[in-house]
Structure 1
């Protein structure tokens, strides 16, 4: 277990006094202390009916091993076809290959044009659906002027440190800020590119369907609005979001997204094309017509969620400020039982969780991001077995 000093407790108390908090984990963007998770969940859940195909109400998590240590500000994770892992560094703007068996790290290179600041930098990464033939890595990053998506060729024949080709900009113009830069990208079952964005601290952008901020975007691999999007000639897939950093699909190709709240409720949402998820008029469940209420909600000190993954009939949600991994069992697009928290405080801040096949997950910590309490070995990638 990670032991917190008294000063960390005082820092956490100071965070609670910060009105209108705007960071990616509910705290002041300038603090380096990690907020202490509370012992009692202050959230509202909506357990649904059970069915034979519904996962058990109670699950389990076992840490199988530590895959790699010594990572600096890791953010995105992309498993390669052969089993190794690619991880992005937010502040160093590098992509590193990790041998999934030995943990050996090989830097592929630095992504040019990245302007790290606050919560911005090199964020999510994803492999092209045609990676076996085109060797393309997609990356979301903060530049000097905006947030954008680029693609780079991964050339394994080149010398170490030079294996990334020049970036080809696929999509640009996403609003940037010191906070709320979104950053998660993922190719869906339809082979389209989904992009989670933040409102960059300008809450009015979320309800503006002409803005790219506070949205989930759906693009072709070339960066055009994807066919079948809900708004004509628009990349916008859903709107009314505050800061989306988690995207995952279940076995029936239904999309789920995690979202940072401000002072009250973090959210897990089932995404329906064209729907309005309420921010800034609604935070958490509102019951108001016109807004899509979340599947479940958490107080910001218990979650502040970033990445999510679907495995074993549940959504698994990594918590930054909450320093825990949440399991949300599903029946369809509803929670079938109360969420469970695992690994509470054991590894500090949790940033990214990715399926690793069958009942396994990759989990990335985030203690070197300026808000954590780094310990020896941080940051790290863990392999989990879940049920």
Structure 2
């Protein structure tokens, strides 16, 4: 006997089947197109107690770190005095990448780094400029690391070395006379693969490899675009790998003779208002028979409003606090002039006047009828447009770069 199926039932079955197939396709598309969420790391750097002292063994902990684009660095002031975390150096000056301004004891400051920041970023405290640190932003696979400033003791152009190994690489020594690079390790791991990228400006044409002073032949060398990749499998007790080439860093680029009595200095801010104090800090590099320096503050009209002789008894570093109250009478650009025997004079400009007006937030300005493109930002911030709704937003330069790369903000 044949059982017939009505047209309505057939339509219902086809609808259910088609619906299931459609849902399956949607699920597959969603599964293969969704972008996995990558959680960036936050690296913490501490300003320890006593960091303000010039002779303190530790100023930032750690002194140098390596991070990847998308990571964040957070500094915490664990000292009992005010500090800053400012990109730049005492010698080259302040850059615009980041500036914490005055960090009170216990306060924190963080920076998110992007692909545009790849490279070595030096920073310091503008109040105590002998406090220096380094953030290295590198694009590496997760199992690779960087050993920084290899050859700094023999050349003015040290290099960073990229490597991979399970045990700890604790030192890299350059020996120009022997044309060799020695990598020293701690830890015992059997069949530990050591992979290192050797740049041509570090070592040219590697020819021999030694493990614990014994020459080996079971290693791999691959050359590509001026970089030699060395791969060595280390036995459990191996402590050293020495690579010998035809030339190494420091043989053709010896350290240059540096000038004596080089003076470097910085003010803790670039603008001061009435009754504020100015902190002037600096350091003398390569001092020879330099026992004191002279510090003068010159007003906009050219007259000297502050003069002091600063003795350099036990240190080549100095700090001087100058009050503005009762001394500064004219608004405008002032200059700090620092002089010393057999040294080129150092000039540090700064502005003095009435503190800039504090403007309301962009949202409050727009709520009273201000057009987004006419919003006024406070000092240190720039006006940008929020891409999603066209509203105004005030951002620092470093934040704006990151947010524009992500498509979150744009120029008006």
Q: Is TM more than 0.5 here?
A: no
Q: Select the structure with the greater relative contact order (CA < 8 A; seq sep ≥ 6).
A: 1
More strand by share: 2
More helix by share: 2
TM-score, normalisation: structure 1: 0.22
Larger radius of gyration: 2
TM-score, normalisation: structure 2: 0.21
